[in-house]
């Protein structure tokens, strides 16, 4: 059934919330010279070094084209490297020492954004929301 009431539109509500939260993190992380997406890439690579492009794309729930666009400035700035490996020429994305340093610098800005969101939304509410959002993106076969 079609409804004109946007308060009943899950997609609209999620996208609006995502944009609102993204602006908060963008404001804080811009002081470290990176975007929230770049921060997520750097942090993911610090925890799971040497992911293939396909693995990184799956982990971040991003299509490869969007991932490549986000990686280009990180590659240019020397924060990540993507050496070709093996006979099948698979690209594995790795965090460089320079990238690790930038991630460390950005972590304080990320923490400030996190604290700001939790202060305004509530710490327990934020944790509950995070849990529900991760539950939505987790493969049911991995549970």
In angstroms, the CA 83 to CA 85 distance is 6
Q: Are 82 and 93 in contact (CB under 8 A)?
A: yes
pTM of the model: 0.86
In a domain, 50, yes or no: yes
In tens, the pLDDT along 36-66 reads 999 999 999 999 988 999 999 999 999 999 9
In a domain, 4, yes or no: no
DSSP state of 35: -
In a domain, 25, yes or no: no
Q: Strands 84-85 and 51-52, how do they pair?
A: unpaired
Into how many domains does the chain fold? 1
In tens, the pLDDT along 32-44 reads 999 999 999 999 9
In a domain, 6, yes or no: no
Which among 24, 121, 33, 16 has a CA at the least distance from the CA of 77?
Answer: 33
Q: Residue 136: which pLDDT band, with cuts at 50, 70 and 90?
A: confident
> The domain spanning residue 104 has which CATH number?
1.10.10.10
Residue 81 belongs to what domain range? 31-111
In a domain, 12, yes or no: no
Q: What is the mean pLDDT of residues 106-129?
A: 96
């Amino acid at each position: 059934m079609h409804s004109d009431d946007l308060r009943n539109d899950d997609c609209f509500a999620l996208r609006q919330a995502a944009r609102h939260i993204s602006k908060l993190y963008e404001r804080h992380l811009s002081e470290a010279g990176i975007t929230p997406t770049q921060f997520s890439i750097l942090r993911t690579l610090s925890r799971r070094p040497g992911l293939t492009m396909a693995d990184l794309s799956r982990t971040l729930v991003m299509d490869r084209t969007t991932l490549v666009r986000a990686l280009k400035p990180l590659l240019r700035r020397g924060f990540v490297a993507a050496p070709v490996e093996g006979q099948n020429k698979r690209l594995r994305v790795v965090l460089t020492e320079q990238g690790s340093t930038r991630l460390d610098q950005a972590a304080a800005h990320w923490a400030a954004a996190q604290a700001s969101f939790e202060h305004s939304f509530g710490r327990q509410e934020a944790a509950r929301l995070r849990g529900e959002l991760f539950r939505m993106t987790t493969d049911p076969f991995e549970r």
